[in-house]
Amino acid sequence: MAAAEEGKADGKMAAADEGKAEGTMAAAEEGKAEGASYPDRSTPPILEVALGKDFVDIPSNADESPAWLLLVGVMSGGLRFHRFGVARSGRISGRSGDTLQIFHDLKKRQGCSRSARAAMASDGRSLCLLQRVEKAQTEALQLQLPAEEELPAEVLLPPLDPSMRGRCVPISADGHIWAVSASYCSATSFRLVLQRLVIQEEEGVAGQHWEQVGGPFIQHCKVELSHPMWSPDLLQGYAVLPGQGPDGGTLILLSLGNRLFFTFNCSAPNSGWTKVTHTSKDKYYVPILGRGVYAQESNAVYMVGKNVIYAYKLKLGHEETSLKLDPPVEICFPSVTRNTAHSFLTHLGRGVMCCVWICVGLPCWLDHLHAIITTFHLGPEPSDLKLLHSTSRQVDMLLPMKHLDEFEFCFLQHHFPGGPPSPYVKPHMDKHLLFIICEAGSQSFIYKTSLMDLIPRLGIAPPLKPHYIVHGDDDGQRHFFLTSSELCAVSFLKDGMHVLNLDTRRQDFDHLARRPVSPFDPFVMVIQVGRATLALTETLHVYRQSHLIRPTGSTSWVRCVADRSQLLDRKVKLSGYVVVSDDSFIVCDTVTCSCLRFDLNAKQWHVVMPWAPLGECLPRDMSRYSFLNGRCVFVDGFIYTCSRNGLAAYELLSENHCVYLKDPIFFPFSWKSEDWQSERMCLDYAGKDVSSGAILFWVVQGLQIKSRPLKNQLWITAVQVKTEKTSSKSMKPVGIKHVVSATRLIDQEKTIDQKEVISTRCCAVSF
Nearest residue to 686 via CA among 715, 719, 716, 714:
719
Whether residue 236 contacts residue 255, with contact meaning beta carbons closer than 8 Å, is answered with yes
SS3 338: helix
How far, in whole angstroms, is CA 81 from its chain's centroid?
33
| 464 vs 461: CA distance, rounded Å | 9
In this prediction, residue 743 carries a pLDDT of 65
Question: Is residue 179 located within the same domain as residue 229?
Answer: yes
For residues 230 and 110, membership in a common domain is answered with yes
Give yes or no: residues 49 and 37 share one domain. no
Q: How many domains does the chain have?
A: 3
Average pLDDT over residues 138-165: 82
Characterize the bridge pairing of strands 408-415 and 433-440: unpaired
What is the torsional sign of CA 675, 677, 683, 687?
A: positive
What pLDDT, on the 0 to 100 scale, is given for residue 523?
85
Has residue 422 been placed in a domain?
no
Is 70 exceeded by the pLDDT of residue 763?
no
- Say if 746 falls within a structural domain: yes
Same domain for 348 and 438 = no
Residue where a domain stops, chosen among 415, 441, 457: 415
What pLDDT does 475 receive? 52
Measured on CA atoms in the order 133, 136, 137, 143, is the torsion positive or negative? Answer: positive
Averaged pLDDT score across all residues of the chain: 77
For residue 64, CA distances in Å to 58, 85, 93, 289, 500 come to: 10, 11, 10, 32, 43
Q: Give residue-wise pLDDT tens across range 418-432.
A: 555 444 343 455 666
CA-CA distances (angstroms) from residue 27 to 10, 13, 24, 348, 650? 15, 11, 8, 32, 43
Rounded average pLDDT over 14-21: 36
Distance CA 714, CA 754 (A): 13
- The pLDDT score that the predictor gives to residue 413 is 92
Tell me: do 310 and 443 sit in the same domain. no
Distance (Å, whole) CA 79 – CA 109: 10
Q: Is the pLDDT score of 746 beyond 90?
A: no
pLDDT tens track for 90-121: 999 998 889 999 999 887 666 555 678 999 98
Cβ atoms of 555 and 546 within 8 Å: the answer is yes
CB 430 within 8 A of CB 136: no
| Domain span holding position 35 | 1-43
Assess whether 332 and 442 both reside in one domain. no
**Contact present, 85 and 100 (Cβ < 8 Å):** no
Residues of the chain with pLDDT > 90: what percent?
20
Residue in 170, 159, 169, 106 with CA at minimum distance from that of residue 135: 159
Residues of the chain above pLDDT 70, percent: 71
Does residue 79 register a pLDDT over 70?
A: yes
Cis peptide before 551, with omega less than 30 degrees from 0? yes
- Give Cα 235 distance to the centre of its chain: 27
Q: Tally the residues of the chain.
A: 767
Residue 5 has pLDDT above 70, yes or no: no
Task: Read off the pLDDT of each residue in 498-517 and give the average, rounded to a whole number.
Answer: 77
CA–CA distances in Å: residue 324 to residues 91, 274, 328, 610: 35, 11, 12, 49
Provide the CA 751 distance to its chain's centre, in angstroms.
36
pLDDT of amino acid 222: 65
- Would residue 528 count as lying in a domain? no
Residue type, 530: G
Alpha-carbon distance of 67 to 80, in angstroms, equals 23
Whether 304 is covered by a domain: the verdict is: yes
Q: Lowest-pLDDT range, 373-377, 545-549, 567-571, 702-706? A: 702-706
Q: Is 601 contained in some domain?
A: yes
Decide: 481 and 491 in contact? Cβ < 8 Å: no
One domain, residues 17 and 60: no
Phi, psi of 633 (to 5 degrees): -125, 130
Dihedral pair phi/psi, residue 45, rounded to 5°: -60, 150
Element (H, E) at 718: strand 711-725
The answer to whether residue 183 is domain-embedded is yes
C-beta separation of 517 from 526 below 8 A? no
Q: Do 403 and 443 belong to one domain? A: no
Q: Are 309 and 353 in contact (CB under 8 A)?
A: no
- Structural domain contains residue 567: no
Q: Are residues 37 and 52 in the same domain?
A: no
- Please tell me the distance from the alpha carbon of residue 341 to that of residue 392, in angstroms, as a whole number: 13
At residue 3 the predicted structure's pLDDT band, cuts being 50, 70 and 90, is: very low
Query: Residue 266 phi/psi, 5° resolution?
Result: -65, -25
One domain for residues 209 and 338: yes
Residue 307 lies in a domain: yes
Residues 56, 30 within the same domain: no
Single-letter amino acid code for the residue at 222: K
In this prediction, residue 83 carries a pLDDT of: 94
User: For 618-663, what is each residue's pLDDT tens digit?
Assistant: 554 555 545 788 889 999 999 999 887 789 999 998 887 888 888 8
The residues pairing with 250 across neighbouring beta strands, listed in sequence order, are: none
**Which residues share a beta bridge with 241?**
251
What is the structure's pLDDT at 71? 94
CATH number, domain of 247, equals: 2.120.10
**Most confident listed range (140-149, 193-202, 479-488, 556-565):** 556-565
More reliable by pLDDT, 38 or 541? 541
Same domain, 22 and 158: no
**Residue 118, pLDDT score:** 93
Q: Are residues 682 and 697 in contact, defined by beta-carbon separation less than 8 angstroms?
A: no
* Residue 506: burial class (beta carbons within 10 Å; 0-12, 13-18, 19+): middle
pLDDT at 527 over 50: yes
pLDDT at position 711 over 60: no
Residue type, 602: A
- Measured CA distances, 499 to 317, 446, 503, 543 (Å): 18, 13, 12, 19
Q: Can you list the pairs that 7-14 forms with residues at least 24 positions away whose Cβ atoms lie under 8 Å?
A: 7/457, 7/461, 7/462, 8/45, 8/46, 9/43, 9/44, 9/45, 9/46, 10/462, 12/43, 12/45, 13/39, 13/40, 13/43, 13/45, 13/383, 14/39, 14/40
Average of pLDDT values for 351-377? 83
